[in-house]
């Protein structure tokens, strides 16, 4: 026997409003919640996705709730999960992946689909994308969603002025081109910021350099960072030298001119940024400006490897009801269809995550003309080689804090306050402290 005293002070008012909001037909559908972190224009696109899904069938209703940013989405999902009010699906960015993986608070992607009778060709996902969210053995745990990788953007008009019509493939060439551009009067031949994603993470992947031991952390929580002992150190020294000579220029949003608007407005002639910015630059650059993308340069003599995926994936949380999981599975199936992939790539700058999606779009001529031409290079970059143990991704605890340590170090270096080696050694030492703390928090747990 149970005595429950319910104080629902707002129940009457709530019911009244609800009566207007929900039509009878919709009420019969099985509802499930999806919390996402994307904001702005991209948040709108997520809402459209939900609407497309809800219009496509009668059985389920996705209730999509924007959380106002990636960190908020994770944070709120944690708070809700601990109070037993979690959504069925949540969008989690790379920084939150490992905590969730170790938590057991989720339903693995394969299990969800198998339980609900969907067959998914898991090897259809690009391995460079799938492995980022998979166990060391390659079993995908969450659903890759908004995915991108970093590219080199270059201004064709400026290059033409110095008699070039090709993007530089090596950093040696970049230096040459940048110096020529500088001589030709351009103030910012290459603009960069202190985001570690391009300069550390993507750089290390395509050069086959580790960021941490234990295969970038995939093989154990006792990994240690090694970025202070790899090619990355020389790369930063190179950037520092170029910046001191005024050939490369710092362009941060803190200074009111981040790299993307700097490139789009023609102020900078080369930048490294996400393929997701391709659409943005297309829409914000002057109509007559000619520009293009290329794979990130490598140092001469490097055997290029695949680049890393960026973005976020969708996790299905544990502790929900059968109908909610059914709905979630249907939704995830829906966004995995080639039609959805194409629509998503059309309205955002993100890339398709499966081979079949990409092939279907290619076959339809999606990449043949502007404004989408060039985006196929992102797939080429992601799939340049099969993933190696250190180009699968980065699996480090407290990764957001580690990124901040490296960013701090870079800021110190480019302000001329500390030497490159000294700063990176300190960042590595501090990062290792973060890792040890994380390891201790999850003592007794091990990676799958």
Partner 1 sequence: MEKRAVFRAGSLAYLLILPQLLLVFVFFYWPTGAALYWAFTLEMPWGGGNQWVGLENFTAVLKDGKYWSSVVASCVFAFAATALALAQALVLALFVDRQLRGSRGFRSFYVWPYAVAAPAVSLAFRFIFAPETGLVAFVNQWWPGLWNPSINGAQAMALVVLCFAWKWIGYNFIFLLAALQSIPRALMEASAMDGAGPLRRMLDIQLPLLTPTFFFLLVINLTESFVGPDSFGIVDILTEGGPANATNLLVYKIYSDGFKGLDYSGAAAQSIILMLLVMVLTFIQFRWVERRVHYK
Partner 2 sequence: MIERTPIFNAVTYAIMIGGLLVVLLPVWMAFTAATQTVEAVNRIPFSFALGDELLTNLGAAWQRGDFGTKLANSFILAAGVTLGKVMIAALSAFSIVYFNYRLRMIFFWVIFVTLMLPLEVRIVPTYAVAANALAPLQAILDVTGISALIAVLSGVEVSLQWNLLNSYVGLILPLVATATGTFLYRQFFMTVPDELAEAAKMDGAGAFRFFVEILMPLSRTNMLALATIMFVYAWNQYLWPLLVTTDRGTYGTAIIELKQMVPNPYGGLPDWNVAMAAALIVMLPPVVVVALMQRWFVRGLIATEK
Please report, as ranges, the residues that interact with partner 2 according to CB under 8 A: 1-10, 13-14, 17-18, 21, 33, 35, 38-44, 63, 65-69, 72, 75-76, 78-80, 82-85, 87, 148, 253, 256-257, 260-262, 264-265, 267, 274, 276-277, 279-280, 283-286, 310-311, 348-350
Contact yes or no for 223/435 (Cβ under 8 A): yes
Q: Which is nearer to partner 2, 46 or 390 (CB)?
A: 46
Q: Which does 39 bind (CB under 5 to 8 A by kind): partner 1, partner 2, none?
A: partner 2
Size of the site for partner 1 (CB under 8 A): 42
Site for partner 1 in 74-93 (CB under 8 A): 74-75, 78, 81-82
Nearest Cα residue to 307 out of 396, 384, 398: 384
| Binds partner 1 by CB under 8 A, chosen from 31, 111, 333, 404 | 404
> Which tokens hold the place of 165?
């019509």
Residue 432 binds partner 1, judged by CB under 8 A: no
Considering only 57-65, 173-181, 247-255, 284-292, which stretch makes contact with partner 1 by CB under 8 A?
Answer: 247-255
Q: Which does 104 bind (CB under 5 to 8 A by kind): partner 1, partner 2, none?
A: partner 1
Q: Which is nearer to partner 2, 171 or 350 (CB)?
A: 350
Contact yes or no for 251/257 (Cβ under 8 A): yes
Question: CB-based contacts of 344: which residues, under 8 Å, 6+ apart?
Answer: 45, 49, 146, 335, 350, 352
DSSP 393: -
Q: Which does 228 bind (CB under 5 to 8 A by kind): partner 1, partner 2, none?
A: none
Contact yes or no for 33/46 (Cβ under 8 A): no
Q: Give the max Cα distance, the chain.
A: 86
Residue 99 binds partner 1, judged by CB under 8 A: yes
Q: Which does 446 bind (CB under 5 to 8 A by kind): partner 1, partner 2, none?
A: none
How many whole angstroms separate alpha carbon 263 and alpha carbon 303?
29
Site string for partner 1, 207-246 (x = CB under 8 A): ----------------------------------------
Axis crossing angle, helix 40-56 with helix 322-336, rounded to the nearest 10: 110
Q: Which does 254 bind (CB under 5 to 8 A by kind): partner 2, partner 1, none?
A: partner 1
Nearest Cα residue to 257 out of 271, 246, 245, 247: 271
Site string for partner 1, 409-428 (x = CB under 8 A): x-xx-xx-x-----------
Q: Which is nearer to partner 1, 166 or 253 (CB)?
A: 253
Q: Which does 301 bind (CB under 5 to 8 A by kind): partner 1, partner 2, none?
A: none
Site for partner 1 in 308-337 (CB under 8 A): none
Q: Which is nearer to partner 2, 276 or 423 (CB)?
A: 276
Site for partner 1 in 109-168 (CB under 8 A): none
Taking CA atoms, 314 is separated from 143, 333, 381, in Å, by 5, 12, 23
Taking CA atoms, 63 is separated from 3, 50, 301, 343, in Å, by 32, 7, 51, 20
Q: Which residues of 216-238 are buried (b: 16+ CB within 10 A; e: fewer)?
A: bbbeebebebbbbebbbeebbeb
Axis crossing angle, helix 40-56 with helix 338-347, rounded to the nearest 10: 150
Collapsing DSSP states into helix, strand and coil, what is residue 284? helix
Q: What are the residue ranges of helices labelled H in 383-419?
A: 399-414
End-to-end CA distance of the chain: 43
Q: How far is the CB of 2 from partner 1 (least distance, A)?
A: 24
Question: CB-based contacts of 11: which residues, under 8 Å, 6+ apart?
Answer: none
Q: List contacts with partner 1 (CB under 8 A).
A: 71, 74-75, 78, 81-82, 95-96, 99-100, 102-105, 194, 250, 252-257, 398, 400-401, 404, 407-409, 411-412, 414-415, 417, 430, 434, 437-438, 440-443
């Amino acid at each position: 026997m149970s005595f429950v005293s319910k104080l629902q002070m707002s129940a009457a008012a709530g019911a009244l409003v609800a009566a207007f909001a929900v039509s009878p037909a919709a009420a019969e559908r099985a509802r499930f919640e999806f919390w996402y972190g994307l904001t702005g224009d991209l948040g709108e696109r997520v809402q459209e996705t939900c609407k497309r899904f809800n219009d496509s069938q009668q059985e389920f209703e996705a209730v999509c709730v924007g959380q106002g940013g990636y960190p908020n989405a994770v944070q709120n999902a944690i708070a809700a999960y601990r109070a037993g009010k979690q959504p069925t699906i949540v969008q989690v960015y790379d920084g939150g992946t490992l905590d969730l993986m170790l938590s057991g608070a989720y339903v693995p992607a394969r299990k969800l689909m198998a339980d609900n009778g969907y067959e998914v060709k898991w090897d259809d996902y690009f391995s460079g994308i799938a492995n980022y969210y998979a166990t060391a053995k390659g079993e995908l745990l969450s659903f890759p969603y908004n995915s991108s990788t970093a590219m080199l953007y270059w201004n064709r008009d400026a290059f033409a002025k110095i008699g070039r019509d090709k993007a530089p493939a090596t950093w040696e060439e970049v230096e040459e081109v940048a110096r020529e551009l500088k001589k030709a009067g351009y103030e910012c031949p290459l603009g960069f910021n202190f985001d570690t994603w391009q300069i550390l993470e993507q750089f290390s992947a395509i050069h086959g350099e580790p960021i941490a031991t234990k295969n970038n952390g995939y093989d154990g929580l006792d990994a240690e960072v090694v970025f202070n002992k790899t090619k990355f150190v020389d790369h930063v020294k190179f950037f520092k030298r170029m910046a001191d000579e005024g050939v490369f220029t710092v362009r941060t949003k803190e200074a009111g001119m981040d790299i993307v608007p700097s490139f789009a407005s023609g102020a900078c002639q080369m930048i490294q940024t996400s393929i997701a910015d391709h659409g943005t630059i297309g829409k914000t650059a002057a109509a007559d400006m000619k520009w293009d993308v290329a794979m990130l340069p490598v140092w001469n003599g490097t055997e290029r490897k695949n680049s890393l995926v960026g973005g976020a994936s969708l996790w299905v949380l544990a502790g929900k009801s059968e109908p909610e999981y059914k709905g979630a599975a249907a939704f995830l199936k829906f966004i995995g269809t080639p039609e959805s992939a194409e629509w998503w790539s059309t309205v955002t700058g993100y890339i398709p995550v499966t081979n079949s999606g990409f092939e279907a779009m290619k076959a339809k001529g999606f990449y043949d003309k502007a404004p989408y031409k060039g985006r196929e290079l992102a797939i080429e970059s992601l799939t340049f080689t099969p993933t190696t143990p250190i180009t699968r991704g980065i699996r480090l605890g407290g990764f957001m804090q580690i990124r901040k340590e490296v960013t701090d170090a870079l800021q110190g270096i480019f302000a001329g306050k500390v030497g490159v080696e000294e700063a990176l050694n300190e960042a590595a030492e501090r990062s290792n402290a973060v890792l040890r703390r994380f390891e201790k928090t999850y003592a007794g747990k091990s990676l799958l």
